Amino acid sequence: MEHSPIEEIVHLYVDGQISRRSLMTKIRNMTGSTAAAVAAISATGMVDLARAADSCPADIHVPADAEDLSCATVTFDGPTSKLIAYHARPRNMPSAPQPAVLVIHENVGLTEHIRDVTRRVARAGFPALGIDLISRLGGTDSFPDATAQRTAYGRLTTAGMLEDMIASIEFLRGHSFIRAERMGCVGFCAGGGNVWNLAASSAKIAASSVFYGAPVPADQIKNLAGPILLNYAELDKNFTKNVLAIVPSLVDGNKTFGLNVYEGANHAFHNDTGANYRAVAACDAWGKTIDFFTRHLRA
């Protein structure tokens, strides 16, 4: 059976002869755009590959002035102070309300990297909100550098951050274009731990994705309201051991979950501004996260 040129290139990738980036470059050159390349790959039957390719193109960054998105810093009332957040959503949204995703930052606050991640969520079709959990102390931008931001974050309490995350969910739910009962959350490092806490504390969370965060105690697993996707790293020994120890509780509690442990990756492998960034692991985890939200939030 003869194969089309695109099918031949896809088979080269499947056989391990070219990288995903090379695959996308070749097919994008043939079709004229990333969107057309993704559609062409999907037409070959490789739907999962198409989703992953779309989630992690050659340049993963989404510019703040992207024409397909509407992005802005917003403020709204929190339990004890005004809360600051970065809001991003597709400009051409369907008329029906859409599920939304809360993005939760690492222990240095709402950085440009997390704003970029928030835009990536929006580009995948979900209105997104990147909360600044340092809002109670004036916000991340009130502190001059990462060291000061990390110190400020250390002054926050778990209970206070949970209150502010729940207030952020309510802010999203208050928009007419948001499908209020289909809320997701994703977080990284300390934000991953906050995702665990939020998912075990609020029945309004329909799906969660954790990147290398500390899990909640085993006796709280029963409180998880929705499916959870766990993205961890082989070399991040303590966090990975802790999450593996919680798996029996997830199984015994009949919780829907996915677990990825990335070979050769370490803590913060998704952060493309840091020394531990691992593109292959980051792209795979991000593609699976978007697919996970698509399946569980759009159901």
The pLDDT tens digits for 133-150 are 999 999 999 999 999 999
Averaged over 233-251, what is the pLDDT? 98
What the block records as the tokens of 269 is: 């492998």
Which has the minimum average pLDDT: 125-139, 158-172, 227-241, 281-295?
281-295
What is the model's pLDDT at position 16? 66
| Pair (16, 50) in one structural domain | yes
pTM: 0.83
Residue 270 within a domain: yes
What is the model's pLDDT at position 51? 56
- The answer on pLDDT for 73 being more than 70 is yes
What is the model's pLDDT at position 23? 76
Whole domain around residue 189: which residue ranges? 69-297
Q: How far apart are CA 106 and CA 213, in angstroms?
A: 10
- The answer on pLDDT for 248 being more than 70 is yes
Q: How far apart are CA 171 and CA 156, in angstroms?
A: 21
Confidence of residue 77 (pLDDT cuts 50, 70, 90): very high
**Half-sphere exposure at residue 247, Cβ-oriented, CA atoms within 13 angstroms:** 15
Q: How far apart are CA 6 and CA 223, in angstroms?
A: 47
Residue 267 within a domain: yes
172 torsion bin: left (phi>0), alpha (psi -120 to 50), beta (else): alpha
What is the model's pLDDT at position 34? 64
| Pair (9, 118) in one structural domain | no
- The answer on pLDDT for 65 being more than 70 is yes
* 167-226 tens-digit pLDDT: 999 999 999 999 999 999 999 999 999 999 999 999 999 999 999 999 999 999 999 989
Non-local CB neighbours of 276 within 8 Å, separated by 6+ positions: 265, 266, 267, 268, 269
| Pair (43, 110) in one structural domain | no
- The answer on pLDDT for 166 being more than 60 is yes
What is the model's pLDDT at position 37? 76
What is the model's pLDDT at position 40? 81
Residue 29 within a domain: yes
- The answer on pLDDT for 14 being more than 90 is no
| Pair (165, 248) in one structural domain | yes
Averaged over 59-77, what is the pLDDT? 94
What is the model's pLDDT at position 28? 78
What is the model's pLDDT at position 127? 97
Q: Which residue matches tokens 């709280």?
A: 220
What is the model's pLDDT at position 278? 92
Non-local CB neighbours of 37 within 8 Å, separated by 6+ positions: 24, 27, 28, 30, 31, 53
The CATH number assigned to the domain holding 122 equals 3.40.50.1820
What the block records as the tokens of 63 is: 């510019």
| Pair (48, 166) in one structural domain | no
End-to-end alpha carbon distance in the chain: 38
